[in-house]
Amino acid sequence: MTNLLEALSDNICIDRDKCIFCGDCVERCVLDNIRLQLSPCRQACPLGVNCHGYVKLLADGEGLKAMEVLRETLPFPGILGRICSQPCEDTCHRNVTEGAPVAIRALKRYLADRHGSEVSDPDIPGDSGRRVAVIGSGPAGMMTAYELRRFGHGVTVYEADDQPGGMLRWAIPEFRLPGDVLKQELDLLRRMGVEFSCGTQVGRDVSLDKLKGQHDAVVVCTGAGEPARLGIDGEDMEGIYHGLPFLRAVREGTPHRVGSKVLVVGGGNVAVDAAQTAFRLGAQDVRMVCLESREEMPAFTWELAGALGEGVKAECSWGPLRFDTRDGKVAGLEFQRCVRVFNENGAFDPAFDQCQTIRFDADTVIIAVGQKAGAPLLEGPDMVKGGLVAVDPVTLETAENGLFAAGDAVSGPSSVVEAMAQGREAAISVHRMLSGEPLRYGRAYEGPYIRDFPIDVSGAIQRERVAIPTVGRGTQGDFRELEASLDDDAARREAERCYSCGVPVGHYRTCWFCLPCEVVCPTEALYVEVPYLLR
């Protein structure tokens, strides 16, 4: 029998035309006999979204099934289809072969726009009888609430503002994330039974201790929405704004007045958004000035390219020195040459050449040099470190049992997808605690996956990346969404560019032919060839 089994190396058969690379067979094999070659895009996604699977289905003309696969791990594709940092595209193997990755984010948005309303809401198990408070309704809070509700727990989200959404609602311009898209995603939570208590600031309207007494667990997802300051004299004079409050005023319908010449200090995404918003408010000349070189700028490359295409100018490697004033108002800003942003250890430690200076005229200055967490809800060296909530890096539990935290309140400013990923991990920890399960068990295990393998590109379609259609033009008053959704033909043609890198493969060759892997396969792509002598 041993020799026979050793000779059977190909008894597990995979039909690649049917396989959607979900990994169900890998997880189900009782002998740990199957491995999934995990595509680079999926490895890079903080949420573990099966990008490979939904792109493959879309290429096969199965748009609705693709949307169903997407929703298995991503409940908010309308949001991330527009503003995701798209690490999946950074690792797409097309970058290696031709320098133009598959437009995975655009395909995600296409599926959300085209098929989002056709997918059923997730099933909710019976009420567990446990209640959890989530403080904050931004990306981390939304994902935490979603996952906890899927486990059957009662969830109330406490939000200080009068409407939910956090940074998604108040910090991201309408031309990048329309309000109706955010509303649709939030409505999913409401349909699932998540309760929202808006206009309730924890620490002012209700104490944290009271919430802890009323709930079985609390998750702090308050974000990092406090703008960082330059610390230069005159920073509060007339005509000077800070990035996040500036953007929020626009979303609230009470925009600040901008002059004809606007300087935006900073090189990140908030700075880019502020610069493009200034044009839409009537500015004639908008200039971004930042410490970083062009290659070091933290803004997403595609967002920066869009801003430059609208006429925003970028002045790199300059650090602010002093404001110029005229009649008590800002008239310009003087900068000194920045010769280094990070030190030899990679830490932020800018150095300057004070002999090289430059001055830019401005009647409006917008300071967008980063964000930080506001006054923390928690106190004490065990609970707060460096202004952020201190948590176990695996479980996201604080030093107090039953109190968890996730998102930017823990990590500092991060991407939306990273904040959502932390929200999911916090929800898993809460559920384990409420179920009496170990919080850390198996969390560091990377799973039965192969992460480094040769990628076969023979026979792949050679085609240029699709052009993402645009709508907004960046003119005064034009807050229309910048990008439009792909049409059906363009989406399918772009999906066909995928190399389909990953696939389940046999590993230990000790198959017992018990068939659970075959039974669990959702697309009947896998079958087991039982040897004749064992039939």
CA distance 517 to 534: 18
- Domain identity same for 365 and 243: yes
Residue 442 lies in a domain: no
- Domain identity same for 403 and 535: no
Tell me, what's the pLDDT at 272?
98
Strand partners, 475: none
Helix (H, G, I), strand (E, B) or coil at 171: coil
Which residues 6+ apart lie within 8 Å of 87 measured at CB?
A: 44, 45, 46, 417
- Domain identity same for 511 and 491: no
Residue 146 lies in a domain: yes
43-76 pLDDT, tens digit each: 999 999 999 999 999 999 999 999 999 999 999 9
- Domain identity same for 77 and 176: no
Above 90 in pLDDT, residue 128? yes
- Domain identity same for 257 and 359: yes
Closest CA to 369 of 226, 228, 234: 228
151-173 pLDDT, tens digit each: 999 999 999 999 999 999 999 99
Looking at 386, 408, 435, the residue that finishes a domain is 435
Residue 491 lies in a domain: yes
**What range does the domain containing 286 cover?**
228-369
Residue 440 lies in a domain: no
Above 70 in pLDDT, residue 2? no
Provide the CATH number for the domain around residue 528: 3.30.70.20
* Percentage of residues of the chain with pLDDT beyond 90: 81
Question: Average pLDDT, stretch 281-300?
Answer: 96
Above 90 in pLDDT, residue 358? yes
Tell me, what's the pLDDT at 375?
65
Residue 125 lies in a domain: no
Above 50 in pLDDT, residue 280? yes
- Domain identity same for 188 and 148: yes
Tell me, what's the pLDDT at 322?
95
Provide the CATH number for the domain around residue 109: 1.10.1060.10
Amino acid in position 199: G
376-389 pLDDT, tens digit each: 788 888 899 888 99
- Domain identity same for 193 and 281: no
Residue 353 lies in a domain: yes
Q: Angle of helix 51-59 relative to helix 63-73, nearest 10 degrees?
A: 170
Whole-model pTM over 0.75: yes
Strand partners, 157: 134, 196
Amino acid in position 278: A
CA distance 351 to 337: 9
138-150 pLDDT, tens digit each: 999 999 999 999 9
Residue 443 lies in a domain: no
Provide the CATH number for the domain around residue 404: 3.50.50.60
Q: How confident is the model at residue 5 (pLDDT cuts 50, 70, 90)?
A: very low
CA distance 286 to 307: 10
Residue 241 lies in a domain: yes
Question: Average pLDDT, stretch 257-278?
Answer: 97
Q: Angle of helix 301-310 relative to helix 269-280, nearest 10 degrees?
A: 20
Q: How confident is the model at residue 531 (pLDDT cuts 50, 70, 90)?
A: low
518-527 pLDDT, tens digit each: 899 999 998 8
Question: Average pLDDT, stretch 347-364?
Answer: 96
- Domain identity same for 343 and 401: no
CA distance 354 to 24: 60
- Domain identity same for 192 and 267: no
Least confident piece of the model among 10-24, 435-449, 492-506: 10-24
Cite the DSSP H helix spans in 357-505.
Answer: 408-411, 416-435, 488-495
* Percentage of residues of the chain with pLDDT beyond 70: 96
CA dihedral in degrees (23, 29, 32, 37; nearest 10)?
-20
Tell me, what's the pLDDT at 527?
81
Phi then psi for residue 435, to 5 deg, are -95, 0
- Domain identity same for 250 and 359: yes
- Domain identity same for 326 and 257: yes
More confident residue, 508 or 51: 51
Strand partners, 397: 404
- Domain identity same for 270 and 255: yes
Above 70 in pLDDT, residue 3? no
520 torsion bin: left (phi>0), alpha (psi -120 to 50), beta (else): alpha
Tell me, what's the pLDDT at 133?
98
Above 50 in pLDDT, residue 1? no
How many domains is the chain built from?
4
Helix, strand, coil content of the chain in percent (nearest 5): 35, 20, 45
**Mean pLDDT, the chain, integer:** 92
Phi then psi for residue 93, to 5 deg, are -65, -20
